Amino acid sequence: MKAHPSWLATLPLALLFFGTAAPSAAQSTFYGFTNNLSGTFPLPLSPEVTAARDSFVAAVGAANIRAQDFDTLATGPVPANLPFGAGLSAAFVSSAVGDGTNVGQSIIASGVSAFQEYAISAPNYLSSVTNQGTTYWTMTFNQPIVAVGFHMTDPSDWFAGGPSAGQVPPLRIALEGDSGSMSFALFTGLDPSEVRTGSLGFFGVIDTTRPFDRVSIVHPAHAFAGDAIAIDDMLVATAVPEPGVWALLAAGLGLIMLRRQGASVARRARALSGPARSPCTVAWS
Protein backbone atom coordinates (compact mmCIF):
# COMPACT_ATOMS: atom_id res chain seq x y z
CA MET A 1 0.00 0.00 0.00
CA LYS A 2 1.04 3.62 -0.40
CA ALA A 3 2.72 5.25 2.59
CA HIS A 4 0.62 8.38 2.09
CA PRO A 5 -2.45 9.22 -0.02
CA SER A 6 -1.41 10.83 -3.31
CA TRP A 7 -2.96 14.19 -2.38
CA LEU A 8 -0.36 14.65 0.38
CA ALA A 9 2.22 15.28 -2.33
CA THR A 10 0.24 18.30 -3.54
CA LEU A 11 0.27 20.16 -0.20
CA PRO A 12 2.42 23.32 -0.11
CA LEU A 13 5.98 22.79 1.16
CA ALA A 14 5.43 25.17 4.08
CA LEU A 15 2.33 23.21 5.13
CA LEU A 16 4.14 19.88 4.91
CA PHE A 17 7.05 20.88 7.13
CA PHE A 18 5.84 23.75 9.26
CA GLY A 19 2.05 23.53 9.24
CA THR A 20 -0.27 26.46 9.73
CA ALA A 21 0.00 26.50 13.53
CA ALA A 22 0.98 24.30 16.43
CA PRO A 23 -1.85 22.58 18.29
CA SER A 24 -2.99 25.05 20.93
CA ALA A 25 -3.96 22.31 23.39
CA ALA A 26 -3.29 18.64 24.06
CA GLN A 27 -6.60 17.74 22.39
CA SER A 28 -7.89 19.12 19.09
CA THR A 29 -10.74 18.08 16.80
CA PHE A 30 -11.18 18.77 13.09
CA TYR A 31 -14.50 18.71 11.28
CA GLY A 32 -15.86 19.46 7.84
CA PHE A 33 -19.15 18.41 6.25
CA THR A 34 -20.89 18.83 2.90
CA ASN A 35 -24.58 18.09 2.34
CA ASN A 36 -25.17 16.29 -0.94
CA LEU A 37 -27.96 18.56 -2.16
CA SER A 38 -27.01 17.92 -5.81
CA GLY A 39 -27.58 14.16 -5.72
CA THR A 40 -24.17 13.65 -7.37
CA PHE A 41 -22.35 10.39 -6.61
CA PRO A 42 -19.51 10.57 -5.87
CA LEU A 43 -19.66 14.09 -4.44
CA PRO A 44 -16.45 16.09 -5.11
CA LEU A 45 -14.42 17.24 -2.14
CA SER A 46 -15.66 20.60 -0.87
CA PRO A 47 -13.55 23.47 0.52
CA GLU A 48 -14.94 22.74 4.00
CA VAL A 49 -13.91 19.08 3.91
CA THR A 50 -10.53 19.81 2.31
CA ALA A 51 -9.77 22.54 4.87
CA ALA A 52 -10.54 20.20 7.78
CA ARG A 53 -8.31 17.49 6.32
CA ASP A 54 -5.43 19.87 5.56
CA SER A 55 -5.62 21.42 9.03
CA PHE A 56 -5.43 17.95 10.58
CA VAL A 57 -2.39 17.03 8.45
CA ALA A 58 -0.69 20.32 9.29
CA ALA A 59 -1.23 19.84 13.03
CA VAL A 60 0.00 16.24 12.96
CA GLY A 61 2.90 16.90 10.58
CA ALA A 62 2.89 15.17 7.20
CA ALA A 63 6.06 13.23 8.08
CA ASN A 64 4.21 11.62 10.99
CA ILE A 65 1.20 10.47 8.94
CA ARG A 66 0.57 6.74 8.49
CA ALA A 67 -2.24 5.99 6.06
CA GLN A 68 -4.58 3.31 4.80
CA ASP A 69 -6.58 4.16 1.68
CA PHE A 70 -7.85 0.55 1.10
CA ASP A 71 -6.94 0.79 -2.59
CA THR A 72 -4.41 -2.07 -2.58
CA LEU A 73 -6.79 -4.42 -0.76
CA ALA A 74 -9.00 -6.91 -2.57
CA THR A 75 -12.73 -6.21 -2.51
CA GLY A 76 -14.73 -8.44 -0.21
CA PRO A 77 -14.01 -9.39 3.41
CA VAL A 78 -11.86 -6.94 5.37
CA PRO A 79 -8.41 -8.40 6.17
CA ALA A 80 -7.90 -9.26 9.84
CA ASN A 81 -4.81 -7.04 9.86
CA LEU A 82 -4.65 -3.63 8.16
CA PRO A 83 -1.17 -2.18 7.46
CA PHE A 84 -0.61 1.55 7.92
CA GLY A 85 3.09 1.70 7.07
CA ALA A 86 6.34 2.03 9.06
CA GLY A 87 5.52 -1.02 11.19
CA LEU A 88 2.11 0.27 12.28
CA SER A 89 -0.87 -2.02 11.77
CA ALA A 90 -4.37 -2.58 13.18
CA ALA A 91 -6.33 -5.73 13.91
CA PHE A 92 -9.82 -5.35 12.42
CA VAL A 93 -12.97 -6.77 13.99
CA SER A 94 -16.42 -6.11 12.52
CA SER A 95 -19.30 -5.83 15.00
CA ALA A 96 -21.95 -4.93 12.43
CA VAL A 97 -25.44 -6.33 13.06
CA GLY A 98 -28.26 -6.57 10.52
CA ASP A 99 -31.25 -4.26 10.90
CA GLY A 100 -33.86 -6.76 9.74
CA THR A 101 -33.72 -5.49 6.17
CA ASN A 102 -30.00 -5.14 5.41
CA VAL A 103 -27.28 -7.62 6.32
CA GLY A 104 -24.90 -6.22 8.93
CA GLN A 105 -21.42 -6.32 7.48
CA SER A 106 -18.08 -4.58 6.94
CA ILE A 107 -16.40 -5.10 3.57
CA ILE A 108 -13.88 -3.57 1.19
CA ALA A 109 -16.02 -2.12 -1.60
CA SER A 110 -15.54 -0.07 -4.77
CA GLY A 111 -17.71 2.14 -6.94
CA VAL A 112 -20.96 3.66 -5.64
CA SER A 113 -22.90 1.34 -3.34
CA ALA A 114 -26.67 0.92 -3.14
CA PHE A 115 -26.49 3.19 -0.07
CA GLN A 116 -24.59 5.89 -2.04
CA GLU A 117 -21.26 5.24 -0.34
CA TYR A 118 -18.17 5.91 -2.48
CA ALA A 119 -14.39 6.32 -2.41
CA ILE A 120 -12.38 9.50 -1.88
CA SER A 121 -9.24 8.12 -3.51
CA ALA A 122 -10.49 5.52 -5.99
CA PRO A 123 -11.18 2.74 -6.24
CA ASN A 124 -11.76 1.18 -2.80
CA TYR A 125 -13.16 2.11 0.60
CA LEU A 126 -14.28 0.45 3.85
CA SER A 127 -18.07 -0.01 3.74
CA SER A 128 -20.17 -0.91 6.79
CA VAL A 129 -23.84 -1.42 7.59
CA THR A 130 -25.09 -1.92 11.15
CA ASN A 131 -28.22 -1.71 13.26
CA GLN A 132 -28.79 1.12 15.73
CA GLY A 133 -27.34 0.58 19.19
CA THR A 134 -24.33 -1.35 17.89
CA THR A 135 -20.72 -0.81 16.79
CA TYR A 136 -19.73 -0.91 13.13
CA TRP A 137 -16.16 -2.07 13.74
CA THR A 138 -13.09 -1.76 15.96
CA MET A 139 -9.44 -1.32 14.94
CA THR A 140 -6.83 -2.25 17.56
CA PHE A 141 -3.39 -0.87 16.73
CA ASN A 142 -0.15 -2.65 17.57
CA GLN A 143 1.18 0.51 19.24
CA PRO A 144 -0.43 3.59 20.78
CA ILE A 145 -1.45 6.41 18.46
CA VAL A 146 -2.23 10.04 19.29
CA ALA A 147 -4.17 11.08 16.18
CA VAL A 148 -6.75 9.64 13.81
CA GLY A 149 -8.62 11.22 10.92
CA PHE A 150 -10.70 9.95 8.00
CA HIS A 151 -13.19 10.83 5.31
CA MET A 152 -16.69 9.42 5.69
CA THR A 153 -19.18 9.21 2.85
CA ASP A 154 -22.92 8.77 3.38
CA PRO A 155 -22.48 9.44 7.12
CA SER A 156 -26.03 10.66 7.78
CA ASP A 157 -29.28 10.22 5.87
CA TRP A 158 -32.49 12.17 6.10
CA PHE A 159 -35.77 10.45 5.24
CA ALA A 160 -38.98 12.21 4.22
CA GLY A 161 -41.32 9.78 5.94
CA GLY A 162 -41.52 7.16 8.62
CA PRO A 163 -40.49 7.25 12.29
CA SER A 164 -37.04 8.63 11.46
CA ALA A 165 -38.23 11.65 9.47
CA GLY A 166 -36.16 14.74 10.09
CA GLN A 167 -33.57 13.00 12.27
CA VAL A 168 -29.83 12.44 11.88
CA PRO A 169 -28.09 9.34 13.33
CA PRO A 170 -25.85 10.41 16.26
CA LEU A 171 -22.77 8.52 15.02
CA ARG A 172 -19.79 8.57 17.40
CA ILE A 173 -16.14 7.60 17.41
CA ALA A 174 -14.83 5.83 20.52
CA LEU A 175 -11.11 5.90 21.40
CA GLU A 176 -9.68 3.62 24.09
CA GLY A 177 -6.24 3.13 25.58
CA ASP A 178 -4.39 2.44 28.81
CA SER A 179 -5.00 6.04 29.93
CA GLY A 180 -8.79 5.79 29.56
CA SER A 181 -11.45 6.23 26.91
CA MET A 182 -12.94 9.11 24.93
CA SER A 183 -16.00 9.47 22.73
CA PHE A 184 -16.81 12.17 20.17
CA ALA A 185 -19.89 12.94 18.11
CA LEU A 186 -18.82 12.62 14.49
CA PHE A 187 -21.21 15.12 12.96
CA THR A 188 -23.25 17.56 14.99
CA GLY A 189 -25.33 20.65 14.32
CA LEU A 190 -26.64 19.39 11.00
CA ASP A 191 -29.94 20.59 9.63
CA PRO A 192 -31.93 17.38 8.98
CA SER A 193 -33.93 19.09 6.26
CA GLU A 194 -30.73 19.54 4.24
CA VAL A 195 -28.84 16.32 4.89
CA ARG A 196 -29.18 13.85 2.04
CA THR A 197 -27.89 10.42 1.18
CA GLY A 198 -24.33 10.41 -0.15
CA SER A 199 -23.11 13.41 1.87
CA LEU A 200 -19.42 13.76 2.72
CA GLY A 201 -17.43 14.63 5.83
CA PHE A 202 -13.97 14.64 7.40
CA PHE A 203 -13.37 14.07 11.09
CA GLY A 204 -10.06 14.09 12.95
CA VAL A 205 -8.94 14.12 16.58
CA ILE A 206 -5.52 14.61 18.20
CA ASP A 207 -4.82 13.88 21.87
CA THR A 208 -1.16 14.00 22.87
CA THR A 209 -1.72 13.35 26.58
CA ARG A 210 -3.92 10.27 26.29
CA PRO A 211 -2.61 7.92 23.58
CA PHE A 212 -5.08 5.28 22.45
CA ASP A 213 -4.82 2.02 20.53
CA ARG A 214 -8.47 1.14 19.85
CA VAL A 215 -10.73 3.04 17.47
CA SER A 216 -14.42 2.18 17.03
CA ILE A 217 -17.31 3.70 15.09
CA VAL A 218 -20.56 3.50 17.06
CA HIS A 219 -24.21 3.86 15.96
CA PRO A 220 -26.05 4.63 19.24
CA ALA A 221 -29.68 3.70 19.83
CA HIS A 222 -31.78 6.01 17.71
CA ALA A 223 -34.94 6.19 15.63
CA PHE A 224 -33.01 4.79 12.67
CA ALA A 225 -33.13 1.01 12.39
CA GLY A 226 -29.73 0.95 10.72
CA ASP A 227 -27.34 2.97 8.61
CA ALA A 228 -24.50 2.51 6.12
CA ILE A 229 -21.23 4.44 6.16
CA ALA A 230 -17.98 4.38 4.20
CA ILE A 231 -14.50 5.25 5.52
CA ASP A 232 -11.64 6.21 3.20
CA ASP A 233 -8.15 7.73 3.36
CA MET A 234 -7.71 6.95 7.05
CA LEU A 235 -4.79 8.84 8.62
CA VAL A 236 -3.15 8.05 11.96
CA ALA A 237 -0.02 9.16 13.84
CA THR A 238 2.00 7.85 16.75
CA ALA A 239 3.43 11.31 17.49
CA VAL A 240 2.88 14.97 16.62
CA PRO A 241 5.26 17.94 16.90
CA GLU A 242 5.56 19.31 20.42
CA PRO A 243 5.12 23.10 20.88
CA GLY A 244 8.89 23.42 21.46
CA VAL A 245 9.59 21.71 18.15
CA TRP A 246 7.22 24.08 16.36
CA ALA A 247 9.05 27.02 17.96
CA LEU A 248 12.43 25.68 16.80
CA LEU A 249 11.11 25.13 13.28
CA ALA A 250 9.71 28.64 13.17
CA ALA A 251 12.97 30.08 14.52
CA GLY A 252 14.97 28.14 11.93
CA LEU A 253 12.73 29.39 9.14
CA GLY A 254 13.15 32.93 10.46
CA LEU A 255 16.97 32.65 10.40
CA ILE A 256 16.87 31.36 6.83
CA MET A 257 14.71 34.31 5.77
CA LEU A 258 16.99 36.79 7.57
CA ARG A 259 20.10 35.37 5.92
CA ARG A 260 18.46 35.55 2.51
CA GLN A 261 17.44 39.16 3.15
CA GLY A 262 20.98 40.00 4.33
CA ALA A 263 22.52 38.46 1.22
CA SER A 264 20.11 40.41 -0.96
CA VAL A 265 20.99 43.68 0.78
CA ALA A 266 24.73 42.99 0.33
CA ARG A 267 24.29 42.35 -3.38
CA ARG A 268 22.38 45.61 -3.78
CA ALA A 269 25.09 47.52 -1.91
CA ARG A 270 27.83 46.11 -4.15
CA ALA A 271 25.79 46.98 -7.24
CA LEU A 272 25.32 50.57 -6.07
CA SER A 273 29.01 51.02 -5.26
CA GLY A 274 30.13 49.95 -8.76
CA PRO A 275 31.16 52.30 -11.65
CA ALA A 276 28.58 54.90 -12.60
CA ARG A 277 26.69 54.03 -15.76
CA SER A 278 24.53 56.04 -18.08
CA PRO A 279 20.90 55.10 -17.75
CA CYS A 280 20.71 54.81 -21.54
CA THR A 281 23.70 53.89 -23.68
CA VAL A 282 23.41 53.08 -27.38
CA ALA A 283 26.33 51.50 -29.23
CA TRP A 284 26.64 52.34 -32.93
CA SER A 285 28.70 50.30 -35.30
Q: Is residue 54 part of a domain?
A: yes
CB atoms within 10 A of CB 104: 18
Domain count, the chain: 1
| pLDDT tier at 139, thresholds 50, 70, 90 | very high
Flag the least confident range among 145-149, 156-160, 209-213, 279-283: 279-283
With a cut of 80, say whether residue 27 has pLDDT above it.
yes
**Domain span holding position 181:** 6-242
Has residue 192 been placed in a domain? yes
In a domain, 11, yes or no: yes
Residue 213, in any domain of the structure: yes
- Before 5, cis peptide (omega within 30)? no
196 compared with 51, residue with greater pLDDT: 51
Residue predicted with more confidence, 19 or 48: 48
Highest mean pLDDT among 15-29, 168-182, 202-216: 202-216
Any domain includes 261: no
Taking each continuous run of H as one helix and of E as one strand, the counts in the chain are 3, 14
26 occurs within a structural domain: yes
CA 125, CA 121: separation in Å to the nearest integer? 8
- Is 258 within a domain? no
Q: Is 136 exposed, middle or buried (0-12, 13-18, 19+ CB in 10 A)?
A: buried
